[in-house]
């Protein structure tokens, strides 16, 4: 599975082709997701799904900008799954795993749809990176933590990083 995740990472880098900001964002989200997932002792199967989704979570941005001239969350959620599926189909993933990865990519900005710990961790990892990249002030960080963070490990990380 680790080799597959490395191959997907290579695919992401080739797909974004020099867009270092977006590549680095994906790598950072993946790193936080992997860390939280391991600290929360999620199963290997769920960790694989989480890590793959984390790498590809924003893969729809290029198509969103091309089609809608926007990188808005709703467009990323529309365009991400088809692009991710094209990348992932060559790896012959279990259909259940593929569907879950595509669901996470297609809903990662719709926090009301969080339905399991893999989704929760993906959201927390994305927030940990976005807080830094968006240079948020203390008050919105506290609001994000209190409203969206549920895992002990994610709460520990946000507190240590920003509070």
Q: What is the CATH number of the domain that holds 45?
A: 1.10.3210.10
Q: Which range of residues forms the domain containing residue 112?
A: 2-162
Q: In terms of DSSP H, where are the helices of the chain?
A: 2-16, 20-39, 44-56, 61-68, 73-88, 95-107, 117-133, 138-148, 152-162
Task: Report d(CA 104, CA 153) in Å as an integer.
Answer: 20
Pair 154, 128: CB distance under 8 Å: yes
Q: Check pLDDT > 80 for residue 1.
A: no
Q: What is the pLDDT of residues 29-74, one digit of tens each?
A: 999 999 999 999 999 999 999 999 999 999 999 999 999 999 999 9
Number of domains in the chain: 1
Name residue, tokens 């867009």: 19
> Each residue of 109-131: pLDDT tens digit?
999 999 999 999 999 999 999 99
């Amino acid at each position: 599975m680790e080799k597959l995740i490395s191959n997907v990472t290579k695919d992401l880098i080739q797909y974004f082709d020099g867009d270092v900001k977006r590549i680095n964002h994906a790598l950072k989200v993946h790193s936080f997701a992997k860390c939280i997932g391991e600290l929360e002792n999620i199963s290997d199967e769920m960790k694989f799904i989480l890590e793959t989704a984390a790498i590809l979570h924003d893969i729809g941005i290029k198509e969103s900008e091309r089609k809608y001239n926007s990188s808005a969350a709703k467009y990323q959620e529309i365009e991400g799954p088809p692009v991710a599926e094209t990348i992932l189909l060559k790896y012959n993933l279990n259909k259940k795993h593929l569907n879950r990865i595509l669901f996470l990519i297609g809903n990662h900005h719709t926090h009301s749809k969080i339905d399991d710990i893999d989704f929760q961790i993906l959201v927390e990892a994305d927030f940990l990176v976005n807080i830094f990249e968006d240079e948020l002030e203390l008050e919105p960080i506290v609001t994000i933590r209190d409203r969206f963070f549920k895992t002990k490990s994610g709460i520990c990380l946000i507190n240590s990083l920003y509070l």
